[in-house]
Amino acid sequence: MSAGANVQPGQIVAVGSETGKEDLTREIAAAAYRAGAKFVDVAYFDPWVKRARVANAAPESLDFVPSWYGDRVLALGDQRCARIGLTGNVAPGLMADLDPTLVGRDMLPSVKESGEVVGARTTNWTVAPAPTQGWATLVHPDLDPGAALDKLWGEIAHVCRLDSDDPAATLGERFDFLLSVAARLTERRFDALHFEGPGTDFTLGLMPSSRWVAARFETVDGIVHFPNIPSEEIFTTPDPQRADGVVRSTKPLDLSGTVVRGLEVRFEGGRAVDINADEGAGALRSRAEVDEGAARLGEVALVDRAGRIGPLGTIFYDTLLDENAASHVALGRAYPFACDDEADVERSNVSAIHIDFMIGSEEVDVTGVTTEGDRVPILRGGDWQI
């Protein structure tokens, strides 16, 4: 198994990183060249510059993105490049004293064209965590800085299966299992899912041809790759017109430096009509107003308790890791390739944003609802029932 982006000889490789992650970025560049890359193009994003913009620029300008940002991403797809992104908050609390509504208007480094390229399957790509001192201190505030960083590195190695004798094989076994569960769920063709637990009573409709996807992707040119390292989820595209009820987030959400805690969202007729939180709600409300599809759902993902992230009990304040510890939904852009029928592809949600937030736990039951109204247990106590 070739894990991650599976860089091919002769490919251009784009690496998206941040200041503070230079060491790992350079190691990735070297590995890409050893794999035969023709050129490695590294783009560093500086969150301190983003802070300066939010604090000082005209509020009405904060949603402006220079055209060449999107043009670059589209060119990567046109030229069939590989893409590698690094996650992890390098500056926790950097935006804490700023108006969260303004913070939410500046979506960089995310650009809408990234979703277009993912949907078109023109790049082989992956996203992986990059531990930094700032992130380690956020995750393990009770440890001294050196010990916190060592512990975070150890946890990242564990959840990525790097502590096994054959990490690629160990990842492959887990991915094969997830793919088998995804196939069984697809075969059932449930009409809807019902989430029920503390603070959550929520029903989400599925498309007639919604197909459950896991772990392993393939480009239009046949390059197999693994978009998330690690990955513990299976996911599909829901019906953007059918979501009703209340969901309570089971983990904090880091939104470009703003931490949203105690999130509760109420849906009616597919739309998020009420977004509240103990902290940081304004940032998510701003994102949900970006366009017509931003307040509707584009993804639902299920996660069991047998993976390596959830059992740690660590809140990573990083969507890549926290979303793979618990079932979740995403406001915004859908993955059109997760529908088998062209009519459903056309109906899938379209938006410039894609924001996952976690709604699952061992206390949250997930039930499949058939077109006849029968109820079939899917997750109970975090274990698969199907």
- Total Cβ atoms within 10 A of residue 64: 12
For 258-304, write each residue's pLDDT tens digit: 889 999 999 999 999 999 999 989 989 999 999 999 999 999 999 99
Q: Where would I find the beta strands (DSSP E) of 227-358?
A: 233-236, 238-248, 253-255, 258-260, 264-268, 271-276, 297-303, 328-332, 354-358
- Distance between CA atoms of residues 42 and 26, nearest Å: 9
Q: Which residues of 195-221 are buried (b: 16+ CB within 10 A; e: fewer)?
A: bebeebebbbbbbebbbbbbbbbebee
Q: Which of 322, 301, 325 is nearest to 311 (CA)?
A: 325
Residue 1 clears pLDDT 60, i.e. is over it = no
**What pLDDT digit, counting tens, does each position of 125-153 carry?**
999 999 999 999 999 999 999 999 999 99
Tokens linked to 155: 């946890």
Q: With 90 as the cut, is the pLDDT of residue 114 above it?
A: yes
Taking a C-beta distance cutoff of 8 angstroms, is the pair 311, 246 a contact?
no
Fold designation for 12-131: Thermophilic metalloprotease-like (3.40.1830)
pLDDT digits (tens, 9 = 90+) for 164-206: 999 988 988 999 999 999 999 999 999 999 999 999 999 999 9
Alpha helices in 40-92 (DSSP H): 47-56, 67-78
Angle at 198 between CA 196 and CA 202, to 5 degrees: 35
Question: Which string of b and e fits 267-285 if b means at least 16 CB within 10 Å?
Answer: beebbbeebebeebbbbbb
Residue 2's pLDDT band (boundaries 50, 70, 90)?
Answer: low
- CA diameter of the chain: 57
CB neighbours of residue 144 within 10 Å: 10
Distance CA 14, CA 24 (A): 14
Average pLDDT, the chain: 94
The domain ranges of the chain are 12-131, 188-384
Beta sheet of 271-276, edge-to-edge order: 271-276, 264-268, 238-248, 200-206, 192-197, 365-369, 375-380, 383-384
